[in-house]
Amino acid sequence: MPAYSGRGRPKIHGQQFRLNEPQSWWKPKQTLESIEPKLGKIRLKRWDDLHFRGSPKHPMTLILVERLETVTGRLNSQPLWLVWVGIQMPSLAEIWQLYLRRFALEHWYRLAKQTLHWTVPKLSTKRTVRTME
């Protein structure tokens, strides 16, 4: 963002960052490439101090996860965008390991909900009571 010129209101928004337009991205602050046994080659990129237009006082870190190569031979994955909002940002290697752990936990919760029938609709039906005469 250019320095304040002294005229008018100071700018609070910088250059736009559009997720689906790679030409609008600037150089990431950090890049990490990793080879995962089950997923293949992964690249993570990190951009700091971004914000949504409606909340310029709440900075966030944006992380892009891309699969570059695959173990299975089929590469049909979309890029994964993650957002970090917090006081201290862990390293990209830590974030990737935490995300992999979170992914496994979410599947466990989904399985538990299905097993406990938490996802089954609860239909209200009229019950008729029959008495013996």
What's at 23, amino acid-wise? Q
Instruction: Tell me 116's DSSP state.
Output: T
85 close to 54: Cβ distance less than 8 angstroms: no
Among 5-14, 98-107, 120-129, where is mean pLDDT lowest? 120-129
Rounded CA gap, 70 and 37, in Å?
9
84 close to 95: Cβ distance less than 8 angstroms: yes
Rounded CA gap, 98 and 101, in Å?
5
Q: pLDDT tens digits for 9-27? A: 766 777 778 888 888 888 9
Distance of CA 52 to the CA centre of its chain: 15
Q: pLDDT tens digits for 40-97? A: 888 899 988 887 777 777 788 888 988 887 666 666 678 888 888 877 878 888 888 8
